[in-house]
Amino acid sequence: DYYAILMAGGVGSRFWPVSTQDFPKQFHDMLGTGDTLIQKTFNRLASLIPEENIFILTNERYNDLVYRQLPSVTKRQVVLEPAMRNTAPCILYASLKIHKENPDAVMIVAPSDHWIEDENAFTQNVRQAFEYCSNNDALMTLGITPTFPNTGYGYIEYDKDSTSNIKSVNQFREKPNYDTAKSFLSQGNFLWNAGIFMWSAKTVISVFQKNQPELYQLFEAGISVYNTENEYDFISNNYGKAENISVDYAIMEKSKNVYVIPATFDWNDLGTWGSLYDKLEKDNTGNAVVNAKTLTTDASGNMIRTKHNKVVVVDGLEDYIIVDKDEVLLIFPKTKEQDIKKVLQSVKDKF
Ligand code: GDD
Ligand code: MG
């Protein structure tokens, strides 16, 4: 049977001021479509997987947001983390729970905040992966053709000689430095990791057991209480002891049985205001506008968003992020968008 693990515990700090610790980007309608990112992701997965088998992994503090935005999910489907420990601990924990419920489970692990253009192509790729992982001991990834040496992604080197659509992977390298990323791009047989994984519960658990024995022992010790009323106590006493490590470093870089399907859909991980700008429709002067009525003169390339559909007048400004929310107004050049994370740290005590 097919399951999904939807990861929704990140903070999205580069989308400040819209995304905040209390209300991160996956719970916002970043694209202006009427659905929040987590709702869009849930619906996308629901076309592949029975709704009751979609599990949401998130921090305790987002409990209410999950139930409000996904009213059909039950307590069984919401896996709460009492501490932020990145993706490896929560994936192992949820996989053990799912495996206990259904030892034959095959699952997709997906971020809750990505943009995927062609949902049919996505569905096809995942179906193929599911079939393969049902019959093979495989860690399956989806690979995106890289366009520049982005150091924020994982890189997947696939077997050049493979003629099949499912390619075996020579190496998985998480967030290489710039020079390494550049050399990867020039070699031609590297793809970006989309951050979406498929595998059987059985396979991923044994891979954790082999490569992260401490993490495995920590969570395996609770197996008898999972899916019972005593689970909460075990997790609140133990989750914080887990190492803070992402699934990419914890198992993907270390495993031999990694495979990749080159994605046939357009993908964007919506990591920054600029990447959101790229995916939104532009007005006739080239500005992307969400939730605002704009009057622009001699202004293009701007990402404009307000909270209450404000009138925004912009003259003589190019390639800026203009975002207004309650007590904060951000006017920031797109070229420096990575610095928003740092700016947030230095202004935190001002509001
Ligand atoms: N439940 C939960 N708990 N979710 C988390 C946690 C956590 O502690 N930390 C992060 N997440 C969620 C984020 O909300 C996001 O949806 C997803 O897990 C991935 O985390 P990121 O922090 O966004 O990872 P990344 O962007 O640095 O790198 C990953 O994604 C890239 C593609 O976007 C890696 O898989 C890279 O290899 C990949 O290229
Ligand atoms: Mg990310």
> Which atom of ligand 1 approaches the CA of 192 most closely?
39
Q: Is it the case that residue 350 has pLDDT exceeding 90?
A: no
Closest ligand (CA of 111): 1
What is the pLDDT confidence band of residue 348, given thresholds at 50, 70 and 90? confident
Give the span between the Cα atoms of 144 and 267, in whole angstroms: 7
Asked if 57 and 7 count as a contact pair (C-beta separation under 8 A), the reply is: yes
Structure tokens at 32: 């202006």
- Ligand 1 pocket test, candidate residues 153, 192, 244, 268, most atoms within 8 A of CB: 153
Give residue 78's pLDDT: 97
Give residue 112's pLDDT: 95
Residues in the chain: 351
Distance 125 CA to ligand 2 centre (A): 21
State the average pLDDT for the chain. 96
What pLDDT, in 10s, does the model give residues 120-136?
Answer: 999 999 999 999 999 99
Distance 109 CA to ligand 1 centre (A): 11
In this structure, the residue with its CA closest to atom 22 of ligand 1 is 10
Cα atoms found within 13 Å of the Cα of residue 268, Cβ hemisphere only: 17
Average pLDDT over residues 309-322: 96
Distance 112 CA to ligand 2 centre (A): 10
Q: Is the CB of 193 under 6 A from ligand 1?
A: yes
In this structure, the residue with its CA closest to atom 17 of ligand 1 is 111
What pLDDT, in 10s, does the model give residues 69-115?
Answer: 999 999 999 999 999 999 999 999 999 999 999 999 999 999 999 99
Asked if 94 and 5 count as a contact pair (C-beta separation under 8 A), the reply is: yes
In this structure, the residue with its CA closest to atom 35 of ligand 1 is 195
Q: Is the CB of 81 under 6 A from ligand 1?
A: yes
Percent of the chain with pLDDT over 70: 100
3-state helix, strand, coil in the chain (%, to 5): 40, 30, 30
* ipTM value greater than 0.95: yes
Structure tokens at 164: 């099949």
What pLDDT, in 10s, does the model give residues 234-285?
Answer: 999 999 999 999 999 999 999 999 999 999 999 999 989 999 999 999 999 9
Count the neighbouring beta carbons within 10 Å of the beta carbon of residue 165: 12
Whose structure tokens read 């990575």? Answer: 338
Give the span between the Cα atoms of 340 and 351, in whole angstroms: 16
Distance 209 CA to ligand 1 centre (A): 22
Give residue 104's pLDDT: 98
Give the span between the Cα atoms of 248 and 185, in whole angstroms: 20
What pLDDT, in 10s, does the model give residues 29-59?
Answer: 999 899 999 999 999 999 999 999 999 999 9
Q: Which stretches of 221-339 are DSSP H helices? A: 231-238, 247, 273-279
**Counts for the chain of helices (H) and strands (E), in that order:** 11, 15
Q: Is it the case that residue 351 has pLDDT exceeding 80?
A: no
Give residue 80's pLDDT: 97
Average pLDDT over residues 193-221: 98
What is the pLDDT confidence band of residue 323, given thresholds at 50, 70 and 90? very high
Average pLDDT over residues 321-350: 91
Give residue 333's pLDDT: 97
Cα distances (Å, whole numbers) of residue 344 to 4, 18, 103, 222: 33, 12, 44, 38
Q: Is the CB of 113 under 6 A from ligand 1?
A: yes
Percent of the chain with pLDDT over 90: 92
Q: Is the CB of 115 under 6 A from ligand 1?
A: no
**Encoded amino acid at 23, one letter:** F
Strands 154-158 and 328-333: unpaired
Give residue 171's pLDDT: 98
In this structure, the residue with its CA closest to atom 3 of ligand 1 is 9
Give the span between the Cα atoms of 278 and 175, in whole angstroms: 22
Distance 181 CA to ligand 1 centre (A): 19
Q: Is the CB of 243 under 6 A from ligand 1?
A: no
Q: Is the CB of 83 under 6 A from ligand 1?
A: no
What is the pLDDT confidence band of residue 165, given thresholds at 50, 70 and 90? very high
Angle at Cα 165 formed by Cα 164 and Cα 171, nearest 5°? 90
What is the pLDDT confidence band of residue 328, given thresholds at 50, 70 and 90? very high
> Which atom of ligand 1 approaches the CA of 11 most closely?
14
Distance 271 CA to ligand 2 centre (A): 6
Average pLDDT over residues 313-342: 94
Give the span between the Cα atoms of 127 and 122, in whole angstroms: 9
